[in-house]
Amino acid sequence: MTQVRDAFQTLDYGPAPESHELAAEWLHSGERVFAHYIGGRWTDGDGTVHQTRCPGDGQLLGSFRYGTDEDVDQAVAAAAEALPEWQALGGHARSRHLYRLARQIQKRSRLFAVVESLDNGKAIREARDLDIPLAARHFYHHAGWAQLAATEFPGYEPVGVVGQIIPWNFPLLMLAWKVAPALAAGNTVVLKPAECTPLSALLFAEVARETGLPPGVLNIVTGDGATGAALTRHDGVAKIAFTGSTDVGREIRRATAGTGRHLSLELGGKSPFVVFESADLDAAVEGIVDGVWLNQGQVCCAGSRLLVQESVEQEMLDRLRARMERIRVGHPLDKSIDMGAIVDATQKERIEGFLAAGTEDGATIWQPDAAVPEDGFFLPPTLCTGAPASSTIVTDEIFGPVLVSLTFRTPAEAVALANDTRYGLAASIWTEDLSLALDVAPAIKAGTVWVNCTNLFDAASGFGGYRESGFGREGGREGMWEYLKPVAGSRREAAAAPTAEAADVAREPSTGSLPRPAPEQLAGSAPEELPPSATGGRDAPSDPIDRTRKLWIGGRQKRPDGGYSIPQLDARGTPCGEVPRGNRKDVRNAVEAAAKARGPWGATTGHLRAQILYFLAENLAVRADEFAATLSRVTGVSEAAASAEAHAAVQAVFTFAAWADKYDGQVHSTPFRNVTFAMNEPVGTVAIRSGDAAPVAGTIASVAAALSQGNVAVVVASERFPLPALDLVQVLETSDIPPGTVNVLSGIHDEVFPTLAAHDDVDQLWDFVADDLSGRAEGLSAGNLKRVWVDREGAINWLALSDLATGMLLRKGTRVKNIWVPYGV
What are the percentages of helix, strand and coil residues in the chain, rounded to 5? 45, 20, 35
Q: Which helix (H) or strand (E) holds 774?
A: helix 772-780
Q: Does 710 bind ligand NDP (CB under 6 A)?
A: no
Which of 469/755 has CB closer to ligand NDP? Answer: 469
Amino acid, res. 566: I
666 beta partners: 678
Q: Does 681 bind ligand NDP (CB under 6 A)?
A: no
Q: Does 754 bind ligand NDP (CB under 6 A)?
A: no
Binding-site member from 87, 109, 245, 730 for ligand NDP (CB under 6 A)? 245
Q: Does 462 bind ligand NDP (CB under 6 A)?
A: no
DSSP string, 335-376: TT-SB---S-HHHHHHHHHHHHHHHHTTPEEE--SS---SSS
Which of 343/697 has CB closer to ligand NDP? Answer: 343
The site map against ligand NDP for 466-495 (x = CB under 6 A) is ----x-------------------------
Q: Does 244 bind ligand NDP (CB under 6 A)?
A: yes
Binding-site member from 35, 267, 628, 683 for ligand NDP (CB under 6 A)? 267
d(CA 64, CA 177): 23
CA dihedral 652, 657, 659, 662 (to 10 degrees): -170
Q: Does 397 bind ligand NDP (CB under 6 A)?
A: yes
Nearest residue to 158 (alpha-carbon basis) of 178, 188, 192: 188
* Shortest Cβ 425–ligand NDP spacing (Å): 6
Which of 297/380 has CB closer to ligand NDP? Answer: 297
Which of 140/168 has CB closer to ligand NDP? Answer: 168
d(CA 67, CA 48): 8
Which of 194/453 has CB closer to ligand NDP? Answer: 194
Q: Which stretch binds ligand NDP (CB under 6 A): 167-175, 358-366, 675-683, 808-816?
A: 167-175
d(CA 164, CA 221): 10
Beta strands in 196-299 (DSSP E): 218-220, 239-243, 262-266, 272-275
Q: Using CB atoms, what's the residue nearest to ligand NDP?
A: 228
* Shortest Cβ 268–ligand NDP spacing (Å): 3
* Shortest Cβ 166–ligand NDP spacing (Å): 6
By the 8 A CB rule, do 120 and 343 touch? Answer: yes
Distant-in-sequence, close-in-space partners of 25: CB < 8 Å, separation ≥ 6: none
Amino acid, res. 258: G
Q: Does 663 bind ligand NDP (CB under 6 A)?
A: no
DSSP string, 399-432: -SSEEEEEEESSHHHHHHHHT-SS--SEEEEE-S
Which of 190/642 has CB closer to ligand NDP? Answer: 190
Q: Is there a catalytic annotation at residue 300?
A: yes
d(CA 632, CA 792): 26
Which of 66/656 has CB closer to ligand NDP? Answer: 66
Q: Is there a catalytic annotation at residue 21?
A: no
Q: Which stretch binds ligand NDP (CB under 6 A): 191-199, 273-281, 323-331, 753-761?
A: 191-199
116, 266, 474, 578: the catalytic one is: 266
By the 8 A CB rule, do 478 and 814 touch? Answer: no
Q: Does 268 bind ligand NDP (CB under 6 A)?
A: yes
Binding-site member from 252, 379, 398, 762 for ligand NDP (CB under 6 A)? 252
* Shortest Cβ 446–ligand NDP spacing (Å): 11
Q: Which of residues 275-304 bind ligand NDP (CB under 6 A)?
A: 300
Q: Does 232 bind ligand NDP (CB under 6 A)?
A: yes
Q: Does 617 bind ligand NDP (CB under 6 A)?
A: no
Q: Does 266 bind ligand NDP (CB under 6 A)?
A: yes
d(CA 695, CA 701): 10
What phi, psi does 57 have (nearest 5°)? -150, 5
Q: Does 192 bind ligand NDP (CB under 6 A)?
A: yes
Q: Does 162 bind ligand NDP (CB under 6 A)?
A: no
The alpha-carbon radius of gyration of the chain (Å, integer) is 29
CA geometry: angle at 446 spanning 445 and 447, to 5°? Answer: 140
CA geometry: angle at 778 spanning 776 and 781, to 5°? Answer: 110
Q: Does 399 bind ligand NDP (CB under 6 A)?
A: yes
Q: Which stretch binds ligand NDP (CB under 6 A): 79-87, 187-195, 500-508, 657-665?
A: 187-195
Cα–Cα distances (Å) from 217 to 227, 575, 807, in that order, read 19, 59, 30
Alpha helices in 273-344 (DSSP H): 281-293, 313-324
Which of 146/267 has CB closer to ligand NDP? Answer: 267
Count the neighbouring beta carbons within 10 Å of the beta carbon of residue 547. Answer: 19
Binding-site member from 56, 67, 91, 228 for ligand NDP (CB under 6 A)? 228
Q: Does 264 bind ligand NDP (CB under 6 A)?
A: no
By the 8 A CB rule, do 422 and 761 touch? Answer: no
By the 8 A CB rule, do 420 and 388 touch? Answer: no
Binding-site member from 168, 354, 378, 789 for ligand NDP (CB under 6 A)? 168
Which of 393/731 has CB closer to ligand NDP? Answer: 393
Binding-site member from 71, 131, 251, 751 for ligand NDP (CB under 6 A)? 251
Which of 120/309 has CB closer to ligand NDP? Answer: 120
Q: Which of residues 401-460 bind ligand NDP (CB under 6 A)?
A: 425
User: For the packed helices 109-120 and 171-184, what is the interaxial angle rounded to 10 degrees?
Assistant: 130
Q: Which stretch binds ligand NDP (CB under 6 A): 114-122, 190-198, 358-366, 620-628?
A: 190-198
Q: Give catalytic residues, as residue numbers.
A: 266, 300
Binding site for ligand NDP (CB under 6 A): 165-169, 192, 194-195, 224-225, 228-229, 232, 243-245, 248, 251-252, 266-269, 300, 397, 399, 425, 463, 465, 470
